[in-house]
């Protein structure tokens, strides 16, 4: 499995994520690690290991290869997401701000975390800017409209 996914979206690790890494039989090489601003984690023995832009599976394979090539014979590790990057919502919601992302989160779930729509909110569409994009896009709201970690969602006001 490539890691958490929604429809065709495959989750890629990024700055602000936290990973739990378990190296079997090596308690000093296990724990929770934060992905820094450069997209890497500081891992004992091997130093900085690039995680940003990789799936959980790709990162696991890379770390296994690094440990196996220099430090451990046949390393067995597991990697799982502990915390995802936050998502942001602004505009016509009761409490705009930053919220923790959870797997398979929809725009409606994010709006609910933000206290719901205001009476002026346009509930037909939202503007979403993905973390790796510079422009926001208008997206029709349905129960399946997904949010991805790092997204900024703006709920516009409706025209009266």
> Model confidence over 79-88: pLDDT tens digits?
999 999 999 9
What is the domain extent for residue 124?
Answer: 87-155
Give, for 8, the enclosing helix (H) or strand (E): none
Write out pLDDT tens, residues 55-75: 999 999 999 999 998 888 999
Give, for 109, the enclosing helix (H) or strand (E): helix 107-113
Strand 18-23 relative to strand 137-140, pairing: unpaired
Q: What's the pTM value of the predicted model, to 2 decimals?
A: 0.76
Check residue 4 and give its pLDDT: 47
Q: Is there a domain that residue 16 lies in?
A: yes
pLDDT at 27 over 60: yes
Write out pLDDT tens, residues 136-147: 999 999 988 999
Compute the half-sphere exposure of residue 142: CA atoms within 13 Å on the CB side of its CA. Answer: 3
Q: Select the more confidently predicted residue: 1 or 128.
A: 128
Q: Are 74 and 92 members of one domain?
A: no
Q: Are 74 and 113 members of one domain?
A: no
Tokens 């509930």 correspond to 123
Compute the half-sphere exposure of residue 41: CA atoms within 13 Å on the CB side of its CA. Answer: 27
Q: Is there a domain that residue 160 lies in?
A: no
Q: Select the more confidently predicted residue: 110 or 131.
A: 110
Q: Give the domain-ending residue among 37, 64, 83.
A: 83
Check residue 9 and give its pLDDT: 65
Task: Pull the structure tokens for residue 100.
Answer: 């923790």
Q: Is there a domain that residue 66 lies in?
A: yes
Residue 96: which CATH number? 3.10.560.10
Q: Are 43 and 106 members of one domain?
A: no
Q: Is there a domain that residue 73 lies in?
A: yes
Q: Is there a domain that residue 129 lies in?
A: yes
Extract the runs of DSSP E, i.e. beta strands, from the chain: 5-6, 9-10, 18-23, 31-34, 40-43, 47-50, 77-83, 87-91, 97-99, 125-129, 137-140, 152-155
């Amino acid at each position: 499995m490539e890691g958490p996914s929604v429809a065709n979206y495959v989750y890629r690790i990024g700055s602000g994520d936290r990973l739990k890494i378990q190296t079997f039989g090596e308690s000093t090489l296990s724990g929770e690690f934060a992905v820094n601003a450069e997209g890497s984690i500081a891992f004992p023995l091997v130093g900085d290991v690039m995680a940003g832009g990789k799936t959980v599976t790709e990162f696991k394979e890379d770390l296994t290869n690094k440990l196996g090539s220099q430090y451990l014979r046949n390393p067995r590790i597991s990697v799982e997401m502990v915390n995802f990057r936050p998502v942001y919502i602004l505009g016509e919601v009761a409490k705009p701000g930053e919220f923790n992302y959870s797997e398979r989160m929809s725009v409606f779930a994010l709006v609910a975390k933000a206290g719901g729509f205001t009476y002026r909110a346009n509930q037909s569409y939202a503007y979403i800017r993905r973390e790796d994009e510079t422009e926001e896009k208008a997206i029709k709201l349905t129960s399946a409209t997904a949010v991805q970690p790092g997204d900024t969602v703006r709920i516009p006001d409706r025209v009266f």
